[in-house]
Amino acid sequence: MNEHIIELNGITVRKAKDLLLDGISLGVSRNEFVGIIGPNGAGKTTLLNVIAGLERFEGTLGLFGRQESWRRCRETRLRVGYVPQLFQIDPAFPILVAEAVMTGAIGRLGLFRSPGRQERENAMRLMEMMRLAHLAERPLGQLSGGERQKVSLARAILQQPDILLMDEPTANLDIAVQKEVLNLIDEIHKQEALTFLFVTHDFNMLPSAMQRAVLLDHGKKVFDGDIDTALSGDTLSRLFRYPLETFERNGRRFVSYG
């Protein structure tokens, strides 16, 4: 039997009178790469926040076979990495690239322990993988958006999680940088035995490792299945309330906005 590493049952999130998630149920198996796709306001980020333990919710959430509330123990938090949307940072903020990557190891180290040689080597290996090593001593605020997203990715991997949540990691990046970040995500998927949840609303910029898509609309799950079926013109047109067509090129499916 395929045991789910993430198990959501009737997850509901309310903010004042708004229903951000409405009874979402979902199971994700180990090493799966799942896309969470939907228009703005569909509840994609809220769903990731629930799994990351950053949002109060109703319903039941199982992680690694254990029932969890939004307040959870450090051990569970360590096993869930989070790559947020590109966030602004004051260019004068006193943190260097290597230090920002190293913040990913702080939770695992625990109190009163400083990063040792092992952590520094791991951080350097990841920075080399992300082609950031030459920027290690640069202030983070001086980096471009794409470089900062790669720092976020390296920071999350350094945490050594079992689940990696990514919230539109390629949003607000130019096309070449988006492609570079997606290639890195595919590379990480090949190298590390991780379960991925990848939030996006850009169907033409999906990692090739994505096997399954969950479509959300107004806080409800409207589709859960393989990525090719999800990327059909009819399904997407209904979801986005806009006529969309899909076509194939080089074995990949693309969406035309008409």
Partner 1 sequence: MAEHLIEALTYPPIQRAAIACVLCGASCSLLSVFVVLMKMPLIGVSMSHAAFAGAVLGLLLDFNPFLSGFILCLLVAGVLGPLSDRTDMSPENMLGIMFSFLMGLAFLGMGILTRTKAGALNLMWGSLLSLSRSDIWVLMFITSVLVLFVFLFFKEIRSVMFNRRLAAASGVPERMIYYALLFLTGAVVSSNLATVGGLLIFALLVQPGATALQLTYNLKHFFLISAASGIGACVSGLVVSYIFDLPSGASVVLMATAIFAASYVFSPKRRLAKLKGSDTFHENDAR
**Cβ neighbour number for residue 104 with a 10 Å cutoff:** 24
What's the rounded Cα separation, in Å, for the pair 35 and 48?
11
Shortest approach of partner 1 to residue 241 CB, angstroms? 28
Q: Do residues 6 and 51 make contact, with C-beta atoms less than 8 angstroms apart?
A: yes
Site membership for partner 1, residue 43 (CB under 8 A): no
Site membership for partner 1, residue 85 (CB under 8 A): no
- The single residue among 19, 54, 124, 209 that binds partner 1, judged by CB under 8 A, is 54
Smaller CB separation from partner 1, 4 or 108 = 108
What's the rounded Cα separation, in Å, for the pair 104 and 119?
10
Structure token pair of residue 26? 């979902």
- The single residue among 122, 159, 195, 200 that binds partner 1, judged by CB under 8 A, is 159
Per-residue interface string for the shown chain with partner 1, residues 126-145, x marking contact by CB under 8 A: -------------x--x---
Structure token pair of residue 183? 């290639």
Q: Do residues 232 and 248 make contact, with C-beta atoms less than 8 angstroms apart?
A: no
Per-residue interface string for the shown chain with partner 1, residues 63-82, x marking contact by CB under 8 A: -----------xx-xx-xxx
CA angle 14, 15, 16 (to 5 degrees): 110
The binding site for partner 1 (CB under 8 A) comprises 15-16, 52-54, 74-75, 77-78, 80-82, 84, 87, 91-96, 99-100, 103-104, 106-109, 111-112, 114-115, 139, 142, 155-156, 159
